């Protein structure tokens, strides 16, 4: 082998290696970005034919939801029962347990609510628009039901209350971003009432 050509080849190889190392070293390392965050708002609407209670009126953000519901459920009164707001990161999970008091009921007993949501992701839909995908969703309540009434020795009326479990669960739920969406319907302890579970997911600007 020609010695000068061999030396030249070795020198060229070392030069290329040195240039590659220098270029990679000079590059600024990419900073790890935090995952996007979202506000998850779960709201429960109660529809009935009882007199409206202005203290629990439906907020303006749900006016379109109520308008659509009235086309299929012609109740005279829709009211907001409860609202839960949680913050979650992309692919995150939510597990909530809470106690509330149902207004306008004939017995005073707490309502126990449970709300779980798993693997929330922001994915484009068929039209390329932002869509929220949820792998697991569950909402449930333990509601008090009056089974009997009696009067105490002092003459005070009292009730015997039992609890019943109601709820809904689903897998692979999709909904539009920042749009209140009815995800389920439940019966209540009263024959002339229906409960509508509404879910809204909106991005949070840091």
Q: Pick from 137, 38, 129: which is nearest to 90 by CA?
A: 38
pLDDT in tens, 120-144: 988 877 677 778 999 999 999 988 8
d(Cα 188, Cα 192) in Å, to the nearest integer? 8
pLDDT in tens, 1-31: 555 555 545 555 555 455 555 454 445 555 5
Give me the pLDDT at residue 149, please: 77
d(Cα 117, Cα 62) in Å, to the nearest integer? 21
d(Cα 197, Cα 206) in Å, to the nearest integer? 28
Q: How confident is the model at residue 91 (pLDDT cuts 50, 70, 90)?
A: confident
Q: How confident is the model at residue 104 (pLDDT cuts 50, 70, 90)?
A: very low
Is residue 16 one of the residues assigned to a domain? Answer: no
Give me the pLDDT at residue 185, please: 94
Is residue 29 one of the residues assigned to a domain? Answer: no
Q: Pick from 49, 66, 48: which is nearest to 188 by CA?
A: 48
Is residue 6 one of the residues assigned to a domain? Answer: no
Q: How confident is the model at residue 32 (pLDDT cuts 50, 70, 90)?
A: low
Q: How confident is the model at residue 85 (pLDDT cuts 50, 70, 90)?
A: very high
Give me the pLDDT at residue 192, please: 86
The token pair that represents 106 in the structure block: 């004939």
For residue 87, pLDDT over 80 is answered with: yes
Is residue 11 one of the residues assigned to a domain? Answer: no
Is residue 77 one of the residues assigned to a domain? Answer: yes
Q: How many domains does the chain have?
A: 1
Q: Pick from 111, 50, 38: which is nearest to 75 by CA?
A: 50
36-40, 63-67, 172-176, 190-194: range with lowest mean pLDDT: 190-194
Instruction: Compute the CA torsion angle 170, 173, 178, 182 (nearest 10 deg).
Output: -50
Give me the pLDDT at residue 18, please: 53
Domain containing 169: what range? 37-204
Say if residues 40 and 87 touch (Cβ distance below 8 Å): yes
Mean pLDDT, rounded, of the chain? 80
Average pLDDT over residues 103-112: 69
Judge residue 119's burial from the number of C-beta atoms within 10 Å of its C-beta, 0-12 exposed, 13-18 middle, 19 or more buried.
middle
For residue 86, pLDDT over 60 is answered with: yes
Give the DSSP H/E element, type plus range, for residue 129.
Answer: none
């Amino acid at each position: 082998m020609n010695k000068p050509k061999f030396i030249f080849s070795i020198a060229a190889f070392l030069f290329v290696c040195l240039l590659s190392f220098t270029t990679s070293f000079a590059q600024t390392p990419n900073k790890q970005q935090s995952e996007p965050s979202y506000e998850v708002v779960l709201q429960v609407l109660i529809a009935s034919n009882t007199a409206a209670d202005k203290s629990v009126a439906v907020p303006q953000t749900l006016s379109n939801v109520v308008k659509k519901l009235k086309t299929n459920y012609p109740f005279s009164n829709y009211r907001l029962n409860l609202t839960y707001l949680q913050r979650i990161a992309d692919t995150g999970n939510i597990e909530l347990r809470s106690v509330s008091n149902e207004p306008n009921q004939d017995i005073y007993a707490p309502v126990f609510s449970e709300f779980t949501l798993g693997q929330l992701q922001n994915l484009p839909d068929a039209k390329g628009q932002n869509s929220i995908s949820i792998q697991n969703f569950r909402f449930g309540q333990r509601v008090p039901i009056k089974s009997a009434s009696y009067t105490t020795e002092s003459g005070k009326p009292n009730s015997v209350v039992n609890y019943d479990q109601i709820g809904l669960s689903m897998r692979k739920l999709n909904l539009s971003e920042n749009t209140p969406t009815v995800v389920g319907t439940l019966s209540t302890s009263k024959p002339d009432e229906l409960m509508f579970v509404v879910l809204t997911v909106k991005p949070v600007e840091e």
